[in-house]
Copies of this chain bind each other. A is one copy, B any other.
Amino acid sequence: MAQMDLTVVGKSVGRIDGMNQVSGRAVFGTDVKLPGMLFGRTLRSPHAHARIRHIDTSRAERLRGVRAVLTCLNVKTPRYGRFLKDQEVFPRTVRYVGDRVAAVAATDPDIADEVLELIHVEYEVLPAAFEIADALKPGAAVIHEELSQYKNYKGPYQHPNIAAILHYGKGDIAQGLKEADHVFEERFETHPVHQVYVEPHATVAQADPSGKVTIWSSTQDPFEVQEETAELLGLPEAKVRVIMTAVGGGFGGKGHLIDEPVAALLSQRTGRPVKLVMSREEEFMASQPRHPCVIESKIAVKKDGTLTGRAVRAIFDTGAYGGFTPMPVPGGITRMGGPYRIPHVKIEGWRVYTNKVSFGQYRAPGDPQAAFAMESHMDMVADALGLDPIDFRLKNALQEGDLSPIGEKWDGIGFTETLKRARSLGAWDRRSSRPGHGVGVGCSERSTGSGTSSAVVKLNEDGSLTLLTGAADIGTGAKTILAQITAEIMGVPFEALDVIAADTEATPYDKGSGASRTTFAAGNAVRLAAEDLRGKVLEYAAERLEAAAEDLVLEKGRVSVKGSPERGVSLHDLSHRRFRVEGGPLIGNGTFLENRRNGPNFGTHVAEVEVDPDTGVVRVLSLIAVHDVGRAINPTTTSGQVEGGVAQGIGYAVTEQMVIKDGVVQNPSLMTYLVPTAADLPRIQSVLVEGHLGPGPFGAKGTGEAPTVPTAAAIANAVYNAVGVRIKALPLTNEKVYWALKQLKKQA
């Protein structure tokens, strides 16, 4: 469909839930209030690794207002996890400071707080391992003794703390190294950061006397919560209903069970609804922040700058549990080769247990780590070869028809255009213009994830439409975009449509809002459902208008014969007649499944920084973010994604860091964990490149995660450009830059 044909798609219509959000009327998890509701709290382990010898809950249970105290002594549930089934609701051995020891429900939040102090736990403290290197030592504390699946691993680092190892690549890396004139080797490190969604996790569960459990949750993935909770509780999925509340940000951190099964178990035990809301401190100590990672990077290149090979070993610290992610090793492992044409690639991804908070999904899991390493390294190679960093990238950029570094075939490759656009916008021309001022580039690719989405579009009796989608709008504008797709295909005004989303009973299945898949996969399901309905409407109208369905047009809420607009009928009249005379509503169904990653969103960021040579303070002056989005269904929400992603990327690069000492998060508050605020941010210039159409509806590509991936690398490269300091371990704190500058002066 050409641009000029579109009436709603491509327009920045206001968000369908916008008025409710800004007026404070949206119901978030913590706003859910049910009659007779109890308040839950969690007792967490003070030890990083310990066996629970005994728990005495007798005093706690006697406290007035206490309705239930659950522990590993009175609750048995199967192990669970998205891929690695290594999690327990109430583990007998706690594995990090913050692991769940007990949960209580009381009539009043203050009583629930108080009762935690009356639970007496006897621990047998065990040796712990806090960092990857410690965990991999021979004789290190074994963190999951019960999991034997990797004990037989025969690699060079055979160790029970290796949760998983994956391999990706193509070609023959030995050949790639042989063909090269130079092979560069570096080691990069990244740090743990937190999503810091504005709204902490909140859930309310209500177990009916009939055995049914209804859960309201601030989740990104209601069907995942349904499936796993049903399995944990031993119920058919039909008896577990999960209703997504309004969500104040997720960024991947709300993609897996946290407190939902606990609330359900407490409700089953008490017969009353139970609410659990995490505090900010609990979020830092016991949710699922971004994995720290060690990356051993090798780039093989000819004199002229042609890449011949790429070898990487990336070791992700998964913390105490790996069940938060849907892959054995975070998905960014597949993108360690960057958006480049490289014939020989060998990637090895590890996941290692430590006695820390569990790391999980945070906006493009593994990708910012991969991009920081690859793009820093690419810059170092360009420098060594005396090439302009952008020219070097352009030379090796993936082109339409190329296979990705790990051999994937993709639709729509607009990488080169993002590089050229980013270079053309002024900042790059100011590169190396004055001391302390620098400009750097970073690039990335983020394809969209897999899984099923399905949708239903109902034609109401008055010709208006109701879209049912299982997809979760976690603040991204997904509902608005899905509504635009429906309105466009059905030829109705945007206002004559509403969306019901993310209720496992009322709406059809969706794999969840993650992996940038909503516009792509849920969007395609909605497209198919709308096309199905459109076909049924035209067929029905064809009989009424005595014309062939293919000679009809459906626009502005009216079906008419092409070229004879007077020979037509409104959707209202058509639907009314259908309901009353000929057999009920017309319903369109759509299901979409993509099992490979596709629709890559290419991005080039150009960062401009100022570095204070005396203090090492890095100030980001501007950030140009160019993304190949295929088609922007709604330019405003798409740019919103870009700006938000960049803001998180800047925090990742410069100010944000979870400081963890002996397994204890030292800065579990927004006073000490520094998220950049609006006032701290530079001008972000978001540029959407359209036309390299992807496999999403109307050629759209997912843009949820891509914008946060290359930012840190661009900033690190800009810092190098400004002061000649190469920081290979994130973040770029002023202390680190200061000491590196000192070192540099000493060497000079």
Contact = CB atoms under 8 A, between A and B. Distances in A.
Contacts of A585: 452, 454, 508-509, 591
Interface in A455-479: 456, 458, 460-466, 468
B210 A16 contact: yes
Contacts of A33: 33, 35
Contacts of A468: 505-506
Name which of A212, A462, A496 has the most chain B CB atoms within 10 A of its CB: A462
Interface stretch (A117-125, A160-168, A232-240, A299-307): A232-240
Interface stretch (A18-26, A44-52, A256-264): A18-26
Contact of A20 (B25, B209, B503, B506): B209
A236 B495 contact: yes
A2 interface: no
A26 to B, nearest CB: 9
Contact of A505 (B230, B506, B579, B584): B506
Contacts of A35: 31, 33
Contacts of A582: 593
A678 interface: no
A500 B496 contact: no
Interface string A170-212: 0000000000000000000000000000000000000011111
Residues of A contacting B: mostly = mixed
A221 interface: no
Name which of A456, A505, A593 has the most chain B CB atoms within 10 A of its CB: A505
Name which of A238, A497, A580 has the most chain B CB atoms within 10 A of its CB: A238
A747 to B, nearest CB: 56
B31 A238 contact: no
A227 interface: yes
Contacts of A230: 462
Interface string A561-601: 00000000000000000011111110101011101000000
Contacts of A454: 584-585, 587
A18 B210 contact: yes
Nearest to A454: B584
Contacts of A456: 456, 587
A225 to B, nearest CB: 13
A655 interface: no
Contacts of A23: 209
A591 B583 CA distance: 7
A245 interface: no
A498 interface: yes
Nearest to A589: B587
A592 B584 contact: yes
A583 B452 CA distance: 6
A209 to B, nearest CB: 4
Interface residues of A, number: 64
A17 interface: yes
Nearest to A32: B35
A11 to B, nearest CB: 18
A454 B462 CA distance: 17
A462 B584 contact: no
A231 B230 CA distance: 42
B460 A498 contact: no
B19 A209 contact: yes
A507 B506 CA distance: 7
B209 A579 contact: no
B506 A465 contact: no
A247 to B, nearest CB: 17
A212 B466 CA distance: 12
Contacts of A505: 466, 468, 498, 500, 506
Contacts of A500: 241, 505-506
A453 B580 CA distance: 11
A537 to B, nearest CB: 14
Contacts of A460: 236-238, 509
Contact of A462 (B227, B495, B525, B589): B227
Nearest to A230: B462
Interface string A22-46: 1101000001010100000000000
Contacts of A595: 581
Contacts of A238: 460, 464-466, 496-498
Contacts of A525: 584
Nearest to A223: B461
B239 A20 contact: no
B210 A17 contact: yes
B583 A236 contact: no
A589 B591 contact: no
A485 B497 CA distance: 33
Contacts of A466: 238, 505
A593 B227 CA distance: 35
Nearest to A206: B25
Contacts of A462: 227, 230-231, 236-237
B589 A593 contact: no
A490 B239 CA distance: 17
A464 B236 contact: yes
A28 to B, nearest CB: 11
A37 to B, nearest CB: 11
Given A460-B236, A461-B509, A498-B212, A584 B591 contact: yes
Give the top 3 A-B pairs by smallest Cβ distance, nearest first: A506-B506, A452-B584, A236-B464
Interface of A: 16-20, 22-23, 25, 31, 33, 35, 208-212, 223, 227, 230-231, 236-239, 241, 451-454, 456, 458, 460-466, 468, 495-498, 500, 503, 505-509, 525, 579-585, 587, 589, 591-593, 595
13 contacts: A16-B210, A19-B209, A20-B210, A33-B35, A223-B461, A227-B462, A236-B460, A238-B465, A452-B583, A500-B505, A500-B506, A508-B587, A581-B595
Given A227-B462, A454-B584, 6 more contacts: A17-B210, A19-B211, A31-B35, A236-B462, A238-B460, A241-B500
